[in-house]
Amino acid sequence: MNRLNILVTDKIGPAGLAMLRQHADVQEAYGLKGDALLAAVSQADGLMVRSGTQVTSDVLAAGLKLKVVARAGSGVDNVDVSEATRRGIWVVNAPGGNATSAAEMTIALLMAAVRKVPQANASIKVGEWKREQFKGIEIAGKVVGLVGLGSVGKVVARILNGFGARVLAYDPFITVEQADRMGVQKVELDALFAQSDVVSVHVPLTDATRGLIGNVQFAAMKKGVVLLNAARGGVVDEPALLDALNSGQVSAAGIDVFEKEPYSPDSTAAQLVAHGNVVATPHLGASTSDAQEKVAVQAAEQMLLVLQGKPAAYAVNKPELKADSALAVSA
């Protein structure tokens, strides 16, 4: 039986690549775009990506042999899932593999924002000593509202409980009993906004969550609230956040994700990054060696299951199988 071909267009952990190579021929071709990407994917049975590659309808149409797209991470907003489903192509991901890293990044942004660490660091490096200017707040005793209590939100909640914060969460897929077991109070979104000193976003970007937090929601929050988004750009309306920061309705923000990445110099995102009360990072939530190994292995496992004609635990769609789907990778 001929070995199948797997195209990897974004860097993944070596352990995941090694797993794929045991069963298939693997082509690493990073940063492909346009015609080069279309040509490469035309020969692929499987396509492995992270967030850098946009798997559009054109890419899927070019993948005449393509059986599966694997996302080494949780979000699949860079994959046209509906088109993949229509074409009989499975889409699988690796949820939870980067949960700890993303949660720790959220906490890093939180502490940096409320203790003004980046601003104080920049000041002292130029010889200043302005203690009063960088007075912060404690998290102990504060109310932190989590919008979403999935794999990342759960870890954030556990860490916040250790800080002594009171944790609220809005998540329609979590029961009151499940939240209680995590030391979290389940509330509706309006109650979360009204009560929280800190609001942290932990939902995927979908049609339902795009622009979930905008002008109306910021107005419903406490004056001086801290806003954190290490989930997905587009969930928080960027112009609305900028207005809220300028008015003081939001006292500080920690942002790891943007609606367009990388953003343009004349965009609202650029103004947010330049704002004195914003701590910003370039989508580093899953950028740890630990997380990259975990998601690479998990995504590789899911891809191989599909190519072997077996059910994948983390399939995000259920397409009609292609006629040639019986071809499996060598055992």
Q: What CATH number is attached to the domain comprising 300?
A: 3.40.50.720
Q: What is the pLDDT of residue 320?
A: 72
62 and 103, same domain (yes or no): no
Q: What is the pLDDT of residue 181?
A: 97
50 and 148, same domain (yes or no): no
Q: What is the pLDDT of residue 328?
A: 46
Q: What is the pLDDT of residue 329?
A: 47
Local structure of residue 260 (DSSP, 8 states): S
207 and 116, same domain (yes or no): yes
The single residue of 115, 158, 210, 283 carrying the catalytic annotation is 283
The single residue of 50, 202, 232, 275 carrying the catalytic annotation is 232
Residues in Cβ contact with 329 at an 8 Å cutoff, skipping those fewer than 6 apart: 3, 4, 23, 24, 304, 307, 308
Helices 289-307, 14-21: inter-axial angle, 10-degree rounding: 20
181 and 266, same domain (yes or no): yes
Q: What is the pLDDT of residue 325?
A: 46
217 and 129, same domain (yes or no): yes
- Per-residue pLDDT tens over the stretch 206-219: 999 999 999 999 99
Is 84 inside any structural domain?
yes
Q: What is the pLDDT of residue 1?
A: 45
275 is known as an active-site residue:
no
- Please provide residue 181's backbone torsions phi and psi, each rounded to the nearest 5 degrees: -65, -25
171 and 55, same domain (yes or no): no
Bridge partners (DSSP) of residue 25 are 5
Q: CA torsion, points 243, 248, 252, 253, in degrees to nearest 10? A: -20
Of 263, 280, 297, the last residue of a domain is: 280
Is 276 inside any structural domain?
yes
Distances, alpha carbon 12 to alpha carbons 119, 261, 275, 296, in Å? 33, 19, 33, 6
Q: What is the pTM of this model?
A: 0.85
- The answer to whether the CB of 234 falls within 8 A of the CB of 263 is no
The single residue of 28, 128, 188, 261 carrying the catalytic annotation is 261
- Please provide residue 58's backbone torsions phi and psi, each rounded to the nearest 5 degrees: -65, -40
261 is known as an active-site residue:
yes
Segments in the chain below pLDDT 70 = 1, 321-331
For residue 72, how far is the Cα from the chain centroid? Answer: 11
State the DSSP H helix or E strand holding residue 92, giving kind and residue range, or none if neither: strand 90-92
Residues of the domain holding 216: 99-280
87 and 103, same domain (yes or no): no
Radius of gyration of the chain (CA): 22
Is 329 inside any structural domain?
no
139 and 50, same domain (yes or no): no
76 and 148, same domain (yes or no): no
3 is known as an active-site residue:
no
